[in-house]
Chains A and B, each alone.
Chain A
Amino acid sequence: MKTDVCVIGAGPAGLAAAALLARYGHDVVVVDETPEPGGRLLGQLHRIGCRTDVYHEDGWWHGRRIAGILADDAAAAGARVLLASSVWGIYPGWQVCVSGESPQIIDAERVIIATGATEVPIPIPGWTLPGVMTIGAAQVLATQHRIRPGNRGMVAGINPLALAIAHELHMAGTDVAGIVNVPPSSLAAGEQSPAAVIADLARASHLAPSWPLRVGGRLGTRPWAARLAARCQPRGGVRVWGIPIDPRRAVAAILGDGQVEGVVVADLDADGAPGARRTVAVDAVFLAGGLRPLPELAMLTGCRMIDVPDLGGTIPLYGRGLETTAPGVSVAGNVTGIEAATVAIAQGRLAAAAVACPDQIDDYRRQLARAREEAPIAFLPHLRRGHRTVARLWHGAPEGESDLGKHTAVVPPLSTASDDPFRGLPDDLIVCRCEEVTLGAFRRVAHEGFRSAEEIKRFTRMTMGACQGRVCQPILERIDAGLNGVPARLAPVPGHRPPVRPVALGELAALASGREEWERLHGRLLPSIRFDDSTAARLGDPRL
């Protein structure tokens, strides 16, 4: 298939970009691996005061309704949406390789990457049991599919996303036994002292109908007040929608034979040190480690990547119109940083406008600024500072610590048990779910002197399984950082290579040659694809 612009991701950013481009007469194809357009909008349902506008009905943000509006806009403008289709590679030119119902290579003049975010894992003992899922998965089940993810569940991780989704679970009839902290281990992303959590909740306090949380939230913007609030909180935490929220307790382990039957909850003091433990009976655990931009497809284009913790992690460097340093490649939505869906929509339009109507780019930048000001939920506290960092780097600031892979610490191998940065965590804790790599395997390779993420990856196969690091990359970074005594954000991020999704050999064979034979065997008619020597040469690329 040939097209002017290939948009990857049919979430709020991708659909908004496609609609505007198509309206300006561009031939647009949107590719998404889910069966329904809308991305994470499909599960969103929350109430912000009594706001009523194009997106809010009686104050309710109903994501699926908004997804429908955006998808209809894109279709009406003439954009094609290719669903149930996974992009597994991007090659210069641009050649977007797609697997799924109709395996093909899309030849596009331009690519807009709107692949959104992924959830940061919380590896605690028992986290591979059925019934343990990310808080985002619980949202998809409860609101999008209308299936209760559990009858009684515990949320591990206290942040604005966890609070918003806990309310959705409550509405779907799941009894949320509590929203508690993550244990103080160097492997759990988002690990926080009770004081830090209270400061964090300041950004979600408008969601809370309960006055202690609102007061605590406002207090929490000052560090001393957050510590005071952490000490003075009522025993058992505060309640929101009847759900206890308690930063002074943490899920230390998940129990069950074959599926979740309970959790071990440990008390924490104000600084986060664990104390007494007790068991709570639940049949589901929802891990709320927070979100990080999903950079894999952007990385495949070779655009310059930067690390901006204020925006949630590794992102492509982008300019005024969301263009990257790779010619013809733009980005929009949460792949540029974790922000609200209304911001993603405005970013999609800006990225499209920079291509379709560059003379109006300032209007679209103003719309983006307004969307940011009016965003209902701020998932990260220092977004403005993050945006300034990006702008500074784009305008030629010298390469600095925001560029990836700058740390080359040389540290002697671990010698004694007390040097182990993950002490207290068991050897059999799985840190890479696909390849079933355990923490013990790391301790062994570290003992042999292999300490960088790249070395660990090669020796253990961590991040090399079916998920290609989408789940376990942050854990690898933390292990690397822990072993080398540097902050996690300085650990180098291993790159990505195609295929970033598993691809059946038959699909590749069908693309390269022998298509008729494939269709004779499988009876499936592939869409019309242009086959020539350059296609075959591309598929012979040694990177495959």
Chain B
Amino acid sequence: MSGNHRRVDDHPVLGPAPRRAEISFICDGRWLTACQGDVLAAALLANGIHTLRAGRAGAPRGLYCAIGHCFECQVAVDGRPGVRACLTPVRDGMIVSLAPPPDEPGERRAAR
């Protein structure tokens, strides 16, 4: 399995990781693998992807709270924007787009 070097395959207390089916999903045009039951943020990190979206000025952002509070990990899934990667289980064949910087009305930018 490529790029899953961050997985804790053997844990000193929890033991070996339970065997799970390997599934595939597409992220920004690339096929990646995940384990059945992974949430998207974990699967992306296992594939070495830290940056999940860009801020208004293009600054990279990644996972921050991992429990759905902060909305930092919003990505688009199967064309639906604003999906929290930390709460969304990966499905086989899922199409993920990491979010580009949002368009922002000029006056709001000026006010900042």
Contacts and interface: CB of A to CB of B under 8 A. Distances in A.
Contact of A502 (B61, B82, B112): B82
Best-buried of B6, B59, B68, B72 by chain A (most CB within 10 Å): B6
A118 B70 CA distance: 10
Contacts of A436: 55-57, 112
A129 interface: yes
Interface in A132-148: 132-134, 136-137, 140-143, 145-148
B17 A118 contact: no
A84 interface: yes
Contacts of B8: 142, 146-148, 172-173
Contact of A35 (B50, B65, B71, B87): B87
A34 B68 contact: yes
B6 A147 contact: yes
B42 interface: yes
A35 B60 contact: no
B57 A147 contact: no
B25 to A, nearest CB: 16
A60 B69 CA distance: 28
Interface string A2-17: 0000000000000000
Nearest to A145: B42
B34 to A, nearest CB: 11
B73 to A, nearest CB: 10
B19 to A, nearest CB: 13
Given A35-B39, A441-B112, A137 B66 contact: yes
Contacts, number: 124
B75 interface: no
Contacts of B55: 128, 436
B89 to A, nearest CB: 5
Contacts of B14: 45, 62, 143, 146
Contact of A434 (B42, B52, B59, B71): B71
B33 interface: no
Interface string A461-486: 10001110011000000000000000
A259 interface: yes
B42 A258 contact: no
Contacts of A45: 13-14
Contact of B45 (A141, A143, A172, A465): A141
Nearest to A437: B112
Interface in B43-80: 45-46, 50-52, 55-57, 59-72, 74
Nearest to B45: A147
B62 A136 contact: no
A501 to B, nearest CB: 9
Interface string B67-105: 111111010000000100011110000000000000000
A131 interface: yes
Given A141-B45, A145-B39, A467 B71 contact: yes
Contact of A133 (B39, B57, B64): B64
Contacts of B7: 146-148
Contacts of B66: 133-134, 136-137, 140-141
A267 interface: no
Best-buried of B46, B55, B74, B112 by chain A (most CB within 10 Å): B112
B12 interface: yes
Contacts of A171: 11-13
A387 interface: no
A481 to B, nearest CB: 23
Nearest to A138: B66
B88 to A, nearest CB: 8
A465 B102 CA distance: 13
Q: Lowest 5 CB-CB distances: which A-B pairs, in order?
A: A130-B62, A137-B66, A466-B71, A130-B50, A145-B42
6 contacts: A33-B68, A34-B87, A40-B67, A130-B62, A137-B67, A147-B42
